[in-house]
C-alpha cells in the first residue's frame, strides 16, 4: 500500500507543478464547482497509476488541479463507492494519496436523502458528525504506522474550526444552511421506511452512500475535514414519490450555485 501510494504521488508530482494543501471531493451533481477552478490541469483517473475508476453516472472521474480565488486546490470530480464492488482500501485510496501529496484539509460533499422533516430538497447541511452503518471500517486489517495510529480518535471527525469558518462565510453570503448528522450506508438500494425511522430515532438528519469511509481515513491520516451535504430528496417514508438517481443529480445541480459559491468562499477563509 505504502509503495503504491508513493508511485501515485510521484506520477502526480511529475504531471503538475501545483502543491495544494486543500482537497475537495465533489458528490453527485455537484461537479459545477470545477468551473470555479482557474488554470486547470485535468488528469483522468484511468491515467493515474493504482487509481481506481468511478463507474457511477454523474461522477466524471477526474483529478483537477488549479486555483479557487487564488488558493491552490486539488479537486476530485467523482469518488469511489463501496457498492461499486471496491474494497474499502480502494474506496479510500485517494485519501492516502492526498496525505502523501501534502494535503492538510479536505472538503467533502455529497448528495443525501433528508431524514429531518424540517429539511427540503435543495437544503445544504453542514455535517457535524456521522454514523457508520457500512458494517465495516476502512481501517480493518494490519496497520502501517507510517500512515497513522492503530486506534485513531474520531471525537472531532468534522473539524470544529472549519465548521465555524463555513458558518461565517454562509452568514456573510446570506446562504441558508442546516446542521446535522450524516448516516452512511452501503447502498446501492435506497433505504426502507423502517431503516429511515431507525436512523431518525438515533439522531441522523440525512443519509447517503459515501463520505463516512473517506472521513474515517482522513482523520486517521491527520487531515482536517469539512463536510457538506446537499439534500436532494426526502428519504423513504417521508418522500411522496419513488427515488431515482436522475432526480438526485437534477436537484444537486439546482442547488449547485449556492453550494459552489459557499465552498469557493470558504476555501479562501480556511486557506
Quick: pLDDT tens for 12-44: 999 999 999 999 999 877 888 999 999 999 999
Rounded distance between C-alpha atoms, residue 45 and residue 60, angstroms: 9
Amino acid 154: pLDDT: 98
Confirm whether residue 205 is marked as ligand binding.
no
Instruction: Give mean pLDDT, residues 247-271.
Output: 86
Predicted confidence (pLDDT) per residue in 76-133, tens digit: 999 999 999 999 999 999 999 999 999 999 999 999 999 999 998 889 999 999 999 9
CATH of segment(s) 2-270: 3.40.50.1580
Do 48 and 78 contact (CB within 8 A), yes or no?
A: no
Please, which pLDDT band fits residue 249 given cuts at 50, 70 and 90? confident
> What is the distance between the alpha carbons of residues 4 and 154, in angstroms, rounded to a whole number?
26
- What single DSSP character describes residue 92? T
Q: Is 243 annotated as a binding residue?
A: no
Q: Name which residue leads in pLDDT, 140 or 257.
A: 140
Rounded average pLDDT over 59-65: 86
Q: Which of 114, 124, 112 is nearest to 235 (CA)?
A: 114
Name the pLDDT band for 238 (thresholds 50, 70, 90): confident
Q: Residue 246 — pLDDT band, cuts 50, 70, 90? A: confident
Task: Report residue 94 as a C-alpha cell.
Answer: 485517494
Q: Is 176 marked as binding a ligand? A: no
Domain residue ranges of the chain, discontinuous segments joined by +: 2-270
Torsion of CA 183, 256, 158, 215, to 10 degrees: 60
Helix (H) or strand (E) holding 8: helix 2-15
Active site residues: 28, 59, 81, 83-84, 111, 209-210, 233, 245
**DSSP 8-state assignment for residue 138:** T
pLDDT for 255 equals 74
- Residue 58 pLDDT exceeds 70: no
Q: Is 101 annotated as a binding-site member?
A: no
Phi/psi region, residue 72 (left: phi>0; alpha: psi -120 to 50; beta: rest), is beta
Query: Is the predicted pLDDT of residue 254 greater than 80, yes or no?
Result: no
Those residues with Cβ within 8 angstroms of residue 178's Cβ, 6 or more apart along the chain or in another chain? 116, 118, 119, 123, 124, 125, 126, 205
Amino acid at each position: 500500500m505504502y509503495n503504491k501510494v508513493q508511485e501515485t504521488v510521484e506520477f502526480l508530482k511529475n504531471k503538475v507543478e501545483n502543491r495544494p494543501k486543500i482537497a475537495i471531493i465533489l458528490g453527485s451533481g455537484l461537479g459545477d464547482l470545477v468551473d470555479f477552478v482557474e488554470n486547470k490541469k485535468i488528469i483522468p483517473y484511468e491515467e493515474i497509476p493504482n487509481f481506481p475508476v468511478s463507474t457511477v453516472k454523474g461522477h466524471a472521474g477526474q483529478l483537477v488541479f488549479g486555483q479557487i480565488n487564488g488558493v491552490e486546490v486539488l479537486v476530485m470530480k467523482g469518488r469511489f463507492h463501496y457498492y461499486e464492488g471496491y474494497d474499502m482500501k480502494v474506496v479510500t485510496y485517494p485519501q492516502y494519496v492526498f496525505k502523501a501529496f501534502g494535503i492538510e484539509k479536505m472538503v467533502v460533499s455529497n448528495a443525501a436523502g433528508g431524514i429531518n422533516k424540517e429539511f427540503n430538497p435543495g437544503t445544504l447541511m453542514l455535517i457535524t458528525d456521522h454514523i457508520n452503518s457500512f458494517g465495516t471500517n476502512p481501517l480493518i486489517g494490519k496497520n502501517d504506522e507510517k500512515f497513522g495510529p492503530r486506534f485513531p480518535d474520531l471525537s472531532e471527525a468534522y473539524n470544529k474550526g472549519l465548521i465555524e469558518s463555513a458558518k461565517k462565510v454562509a452568514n456573510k453570503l446570506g446562504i441558508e444552511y442546516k446542521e446535522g448528522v450524516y448516516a452512511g450506508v452501503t447502498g446501492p438500494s435506497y433505504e426502507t421506511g423502517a431503516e429511515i425511522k431507525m436512523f431518525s430515532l438515533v439522531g441522523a438528519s440525512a443519509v447517503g452512500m459515501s463520505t463516512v469511509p473517506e472521513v474515517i481515513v482522513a482523520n486517521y491520516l491527520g487531515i482536517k475535514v469539512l463536510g457538506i451535504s446537499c439534500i436532494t430528496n426526502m428519504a423513504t417514508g417521508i418522500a411522496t414519490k419513488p427515488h431515482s438517481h436522475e432526480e438526485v443529480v437534477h436537484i444537486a445541480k439546482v442547488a449547485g450555485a449556492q453550494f459552489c459559491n459557499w465552498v469557493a468562499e470558504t476555501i479562501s477563509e480556511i486557506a
